[in-house]
Chain A
Amino acid sequence: MEAFDALLTGFGVALRPINLMWGFIGVTFGTLVGVLPGVGPALTVAMLLPLTTKLDPTGALILFAGIYYGAMFGGSTTTILLNTPGESASIATALEGNRMAKAGRAGPALATAALGSFFAGTIATLLLTLVAPFVVTLALKFGPAEYFALMVFAFTTVAAVLGASTVRGLASLFIGLLLGLVGIDTQTAAPRFAFGVPELLDGIDVVVLAVGLFAVGEALYMAAYSGRQPATLEKMSGSIWMSKEDWRRSVPAWLRATAIGFPFGTIPAGGSEIPTFLSYAVERRLSKHPEEFGHGAIEGVAGPEAANNAAATGVLVPLLTLGIPTSATAAILLGAFQNYGLQPGPLLFQSQGELVWGLIASLYVGNAILLVLNLPLIGIWVRVLAIPRPGLYAGILVFATLGAYSLHQSWIDLLTLYVFGLLGFAMRRWDFPVGPAVIGLILGPLAETQFRRALQISQGDASVFFTHPISGTLLAITALVVVLPWAARRFRPKTPP
């Protein structure tokens, strides 16, 4: 019950009026920005990072928990009313939610999304509370070799196994890894890839990369292509409340989706995309009304939305206990920790227990705030959606450049931002996934440090990675997840069924 006591202390922190206020501000801003079409959770978190530069770490991280959840909810509102999914995890919602809105049932669709997110988020946070101390105990046994093997596993699944193309995923990852090298080498203090530019000695900030790839890249892409097709905004009409029948169909979907989403979030499997689709498929299979799928079945909104939120919470397990981000959003959150000189991992639970448990407690609070704030304010979010595109993208870029400029008050950061914007444009145009680059930038330097530490301990003997049981097992699993899908493709019978 040690975890329970710690959590109570955490609630003491999270429920302080000032921290409660940061929670409210975070959820409001997160939803406000997350609701903007084309702005996903990763970009929302990155753009709002400069808000926290002058806050104490606990307040800042609580603010971020609110932004994270708010951005998720904002994204689903946009998807349901506008049918332009801001991120791949919302595509499943778009299938049914937008159909419901077209049929005049936008209210219940938004309600089941909000309530499902609340239930799934709360249950998933409960699971996080129970699982985290266990993982921390395990992680304390990890040495540098084990950490390195774990990071290699995360790199491989995120970049090579998931997504449309292995080579493009890997190319994105390696570009991120190369950018992660820029700056002072942590082991020897030798400057690398800085070319004598002082702004580069600090390394490339994750905010500049994420905002460049997501915001500037997206704006350039939308301006150059598809700039002329207006999306139709569905009207909010009729009751927002769910009928008895809606409840009866939603609740089991929420529960099943939580069971799918949370475990997927905890393993390095690239965040929410797979569990949302999986949940959609399960609901479709189990539904008593399969004929409604494709025409606005409420289970098809309830399930994926709950799965999305459960996975988003699950992602926090490896982030907080091991310091390993498994999605682009988590990588940016890790960057926020690093800004305060905090390195998430098992040691943080011991040295900064109040902060970590305060953050976990604030996730419960954030979920509740989300519920009480968002359904009543839905009218405001709908109005945000009606902003015409020129003003929308212009506003996004004013905000995006602000974040980069406030780092060093230097135009060099703005130039870097534009270069990453061009990169993001090309990656969007030729279908490279962007997430691996962001994860590579943040996780690459950590992996290098663990790799070199492991070799220092073994006096340069590289066999440690294979002879340590945990490390060897992880590397074997990594090899398996690469080989198995390839083998399955290679040896599958050629005739289609």
Chain B
Amino acid sequence: MRKSAELALAAGVAALGAGGAIVTAGLPGEGGYAGIGPNFIPGVIAAGLIVLGLWLGWEAWTGRWRIAPEEPFDAPAFLWVSGALFAHMVLIGFAGFVLAGAVLFTGVARGFGSRRAARDAAVGLVLSLAIFFFFVKLLNVNLPAGWLSPLLGGAGL
């Protein structure tokens, strides 16, 4: 079925609304002079999302929501980019901004079809180093130096 992805997306929007409604039910409702509390607008937005989810579902079901045909989904490329972002997320705290950035750069480049990992790693390392010094030394933005802190001196955290 071509429609299944669209229907799933519509269900996702409605589910977001339902989740919002559940959270809203736990919010305080006393409103003071206004007569409405912190739960009023969240309730309106949650209801809106449920209605929009149903509307999207109807459009998907009746074929009004047509999306131009795409090339086949390139799962490995998608996973390389996602994996690089997760590796960066894990590494940045203890390995530091520069090394995490180099890993991210190499992984994303691989996802976009590059086969020269060593060169990409070198480029990523130089780029991250340049950004690190620019932000930490010139703009006083805190970035973690991590494993490279002996080399990078007292810069960053």
Contact = CB atoms under 8 A, between A and B. Distances in A.
Please indicate whether A and B come from the same complex rather than being unrelated chains. Answer: yes
Contact of B120 (A188, A225, A394, A414): A394
Given A220-B78, A411-B92, A455 B112 contact: no
A390 B46 contact: no
Interface string A186-206: 011010110000000000000
A418 B104 contact: no
Interface string B24-59: 000110011111111011100110110011011001
B16 A175 contact: yes
A54 B140 contact: yes
Given A223-B111, A393-B112, A394-B108, A429 B70 contact: yes
Contact of A190 (B38, B46, B88): B38
B34 A460 contact: yes
| Secondary structure class of chain A's binding surface, majority of residues | helix
A411 to B, nearest CB: 5
Indicate the member of B23, B108, B113, B128 with the most A CB atoms within 10 Å: B108
B52 A174 contact: yes
B48 A174 contact: yes
Interface string A393-419: 111011101100110010100110110
A448 interface: yes
Contacts of A190: 27-28, 38
Given A223-B74, A429-B67, A459-B33, A406 B143 contact: yes
A168 B81 CA distance: 27
Nearest to B81: A223
A224 B88 contact: no
Nearest to B60: A430
B36 A452 contact: yes
A192 B16 contact: no
A281 B118 CA distance: 50
B78 A224 contact: yes
Interface in B102-157: 104-114, 120, 123-124, 127-128, 131, 135, 139-144, 157
A341 interface: no
Contacts of A131: none
Contacts of A448: 41
A309 B128 CA distance: 33
Interface string A80-100: 000000000000000000000
Contacts of B17: 174
Interface string B82-110: 10111011101100010001001111111
Interface string A428-451: 011100000000000010001001
Given A174-B48, A402-B131, A394 B109 contact: yes
A315 B16 CA distance: 32
A460 B74 CA distance: 55
A391 B86 contact: no
A456 interface: yes
A192 B81 CA distance: 32
Given A192-B42, A228-B113, A394-B124, A220 B108 contact: no
Interface centre among A171, A220, A451 (most CB of B within 10 A): A171
Given A224-B77, A389-B112, A411-B93, A451 B41 contact: yes
Contacts of A226: 71
Interface in A222-262: 222-228
Contacts of B31: 460
B113 A167 contact: no
Contacts of B157: 409
Contacts of A460: 31, 33-36
Contact of A50 (B53, B59, B78, B141): B141
Contacts of B46: 178
Contact of A411 (B45, B73, B80, B90): B90
Contacts of A430: 5-6, 9, 65, 67
A18 interface: no
- Give the most central of B17, B88, B111: most A CB within 10 Å: B111
B104 A398 contact: yes
Contact of A398 (B13, B110, B124, B144): B124
A419 to B, nearest CB: 11
B38 A170 contact: no
Contact of A391 (B38, B89, B120): B120
Interface of B: 5-6, 9, 13, 16-17, 20, 23, 27-28, 31-38, 40-42, 45-46, 48-49, 52-53, 55-56, 59, 65, 67, 70-71, 73-75, 77-78, 80-82, 84-86, 88-90, 92-93, 97, 101, 104-114, 120, 123-124, 127-128, 131, 135, 139-144, 157
Given A178-B16, A391-B114, A402-B131, 8 more contacts: A167-B59, A171-B56, A190-B28, A397-B108, A414-B92, A455-B35, A456-B33, A460-B31
